[in-house]
Homo-oligomer: A and B are copies of this chain.
């Protein structure tokens, strides 16, 4: 429901709805913290890293771990303590699919996201850092790990390596491997960063890399509906999507260093999970139009998983970004899986 739309048509009903269905966020406790971790990394020896987390909801509630793409972070949703919008505001919050009145929502900043770790970071390292985070917070068990994109990859790693501490996994638009074509796409993004770095213009290279990434996150169908014909401007051809892409690139460099981008981009390419070693319940969500994670790879994943396995295939013009854009469909899947988990626990 969009408040803006509702307000235009029936302003009074809208206000009532807001009062009735959206409880004050003051009621939800939220804490942020960080701790130093000596992490045995897969390709980089033992390193001292900082783990930064955010925890939303009362102690004692079943824990849901939430992880997004490489540009996501620990702040998934607004709270009284941290009122700025989170990256998954649509799915996490009172009355939303992942409701911090019913679950304790845990999330963290990816190892390497701060740009302070210039080494090869395996998805394995992220899963092990999450296990260490649980130890540090004395949380014995994650009831549901909800991961999207890179978060789904790390969720599979966590299920493979730390399955005893996990109830179920929801893996959205991320699978057991990186597709070689998508890896090539990312390798060229990293080369754009390298080209920018040659002239000491890190931001320019990262902005171009991000624009290339955005193309892989979306679909031709969306661009066709959204952007018009090219124009000749000042002796150059300017295509319909160019201003939008430039905006995406600019926004990204404001919050991402070249090192963070490079190391997390590389990390995606290192994904290698053996699904036959995962015996817990997994809900795999795939998008038919995803150009980065082809549907066939989701099929291969569910064929090999050993536990109770479910495959949900969505259709979306938003391709890989459907987890951010198809709010209704994603909410429906999350509500179902989380409700089942609560029933089982009861």
Interface residues of A, Cβ cutoff 8 Å to B = 43, 119-120, 178-188, 191-192, 195-196, 198-199, 201, 204-205, 208, 211-212, 215, 218-220, 223-224, 226-230, 232, 235-242, 245, 266-267, 269-270, 272, 294
Contact = CB atoms under 8 A, between A and B. Distances in A.
A73 to B, nearest CB: 22
A158 to B, nearest CB: 21
A267 to B, nearest CB: 8
Contact of A43 (B184, B227, B232, B242): B232
B198 A229 contact: no
Nearest to A267: B237
A180 B211 contact: no
A44 to B, nearest CB: 8
List the number of copies, as a whole number.
Answer: 2
12 contacts: A180-B223, A180-B228, A183-B227, A184-B239, A184-B245, A188-B208, A192-B195, A192-B208, A195-B204, A198-B201, A229-B272, A237-B270
Given A120-B232, A195-B204, A270-B237, A220 B188 contact: no
A237 B188 contact: no
Given A120-B232, A181-B220, A269 B237 contact: yes
A122 to B, nearest CB: 9
B179 A220 contact: yes
B204 A188 contact: no
A43 B43 CA distance: 55
A195 B224 contact: no
A119 B234 CA distance: 10
A194 to B, nearest CB: 9
Contacts of A241: 180-181, 183-184, 187
B235 A120 contact: yes
